[in-house]
Amino acid sequence: MSRHWPNQQGYLNAALRTVQYLASLTVQQDIWSEVGKVFVNFWGADVVAFGRPQDDGSITYHHWMHADHEVGADLTPLITNVSRPVAHEPSIGAEVHEAIQEVFESGFFASRIIATPEPLSLAFLPVNQENQLTAVLLVGYRIAEPFPRELLNTYLAMTVLLGTTATRLASEIEIRQHREHLENLVRERTTKLIEINERLQQEIAERRRAEQIIKEMAYQDALTGLPNRRLFNDRLAIAMAHAQRKQEKLAVMLLDIDRFKQINDTLGHSVGDQLLQALGQRLSTLIRRSDTAARLGGDEFILILTEITVLEDATTIAAKIQAALHKSFYLNEHMLTITSSLGIALFPDDGTDAETLLKHADSAMYQAKEAGYGEYRHWQLLSSEAQE
């Protein structure tokens, strides 16, 4: 019987179990072995491993895990219907080697369908610790179909959590070691107690920062680092309350990239992801600290612009944003020039609650898209024209 990818609800259930499990890990457990078990048991993976390129160009693999055989660090996973381990087959090994090197060089994920007697879909995911790429997580399924985009996005979020958890556990190990060392020093050299205690407090602060990173993940978009929908909704509520007290206006602008699907289809999702990241960074430079730029998902971004006096203030900013986004993006070997469609809704003129403002901004954006690429529209103007 052929296997198929799980549905979105399956992703969410597995992601929730993964978050809970990683949060419960202690320093007594080997995080890399536990991650292998997580992907096999929660996500239904057939093979899991970690790879690191060496200075001589070779790849070192460790902590192999298979749905039927826990192999450990001897680098010989047993895969059903494959006579030799994945990375030991000459042609297969070259593909795996190339994919891991690609991830380390680009910092982005890669995926392959390996032509074994029974096709094996492999995802290669970057694992970062303290902003440094330290390993590549290899996850494989005996499914002859490419990884669904939603699953890859979820995996990327899980690898961010994995890196943060590894940092947390490493910090806890260091803290425990320093505490033991401190006890010995207290007995032997009490004169150095203050200095050592300061070092211990610093390590505790690092642990708290690592825990803070986990909390921030709930409010940040994993790909771009911008606020996600949840944080955007919170900030919009605060901004509307402030504007109402001050009897001011604010603008909500919804934009997406014209022909983004064509970019993904022709250049690949990796380039598409790089474009989204670069666009998010550029948007952040175009707004004030009191404003907000967030990513709703896909290629949709949304802005909150405060202290708007008249509609022309918003349309002037919209034109500047579109002009800035029209400047070329340089992404590794690609130079991309894009346009965006943008819809504007004003508070309180076009709506006094978040749902209405977003609905009207969305309608305006699609009207802009129908008018041609690189256009912006204001909902109230569209509404007035429709009535006429």
Q: What is the CATH number of the domain that holds 319?
A: 3.30.70.270
133 and 155 in one domain? yes
259 and 130 in one domain? no
258 and 281 in one domain? yes
Highest mean pLDDT among 77-86, 121-130, 263-272: 263-272
Residue 224 lies in a domain: no
| Among the ranges given (72-76, 87-91, 146-150, 313-317), the one the predictor scored with the smallest mean pLDDT | 72-76
- Rounded Cα distance, 34 and 78, in Å: 19
**Are 270 and 207 spatial neighbours (Cβ–Cβ below 8 Å)?**
no
**Are 241 and 354 spatial neighbours (Cβ–Cβ below 8 Å)?**
no
Taking 50 as the threshold, does the pLDDT of residue 90 lie above it? no
For residue 328, what pLDDT band results from cuts at 50, 70 and 90? very high
| Among the ranges given (126-135, 148-157, 207-216), the one the predictor scored with the smallest mean pLDDT | 207-216
| Among the ranges given (28-42, 63-77, 286-300), the one the predictor scored with the smallest mean pLDDT | 63-77
132 and 261 in one domain? no
pLDDT at 129: 84
Highest mean pLDDT among 16-25, 66-75, 210-219: 16-25
- Crossing angle between the packed helical segments 149-188 and 31-41, to the nearest 10 degrees: 150
Domain count for the chain, please give it.
3
Taking 90 as the threshold, does the pLDDT of residue 59 lie above it? no
From start to end of the chain, where are the E strands? 47-53, 59-66, 110-114, 120-129, 132-141, 249-257, 292-297, 300-308, 329-331, 334-336, 340-347, 376-378
pLDDT at 352: 94
Q: Which of 164, 187, 208 is the last residue of a domain?
A: 164
Residue 222 lies in a domain: no
Query: Which of helix, strand or coil describes residue 111?
Result: strand
Mean pLDDT of 108-137: 85
Highest mean pLDDT among 5-9, 87-91, 332-336: 332-336
Cα angle 382, 357, 215; round to 5: 145
- Rounded Cα distance, 32 and 16, in Å: 19
Percentage of the chain lying above the pLDDT 90 cut: 39
pLDDT at 123: 92
What tokens appear for 209 in the block?
Answer: 């920062």
Taking 50 as the threshold, does the pLDDT of residue 110 lie above it? yes
Mean pLDDT of 114-128: 83
Taking 70 as the threshold, does the pLDDT of residue 91 lie above it? no
Mean pLDDT of the chain: 84
174 and 271 in one domain? no
53 and 148 in one domain? yes
184 and 49 in one domain? no
Q: Which of 122, 141, 164 is the last residue of a domain?
A: 164
Mean pLDDT of 44-49: 86
340 and 292 in one domain? yes
Domain of residue 373: give its range. Answer: 229-387
Q: Which of 136, 164, 192 is the last residue of a domain?
A: 164
pLDDT at 217: 66
pLDDT top residue among 362 and 162: 362
Taking 90 as the threshold, does the pLDDT of residue 336 lie above it? yes
- Rounded Cα distance, 51 and 386, in Å: 59
pLDDT at 172: 80
160 and 172 in one domain? no
| Among the ranges given (41-50, 113-122, 301-310, 378-387), the one the predictor scored with the smallest mean pLDDT | 378-387
86 and 19 in one domain? yes
134 and 17 in one domain? yes
246 and 146 in one domain? no
| Among the ranges given (125-134, 286-295, 341-350), the one the predictor scored with the smallest mean pLDDT | 125-134
Residue 298 lies in a domain: yes
Burial 315-341 (b: 16+ CB within 10 A, else e): bebbeebbeebeeebebeeeebebebb
Residue 2 lies in a domain: no
pLDDT top residue among 230 and 388: 230
pLDDT at 214: 65
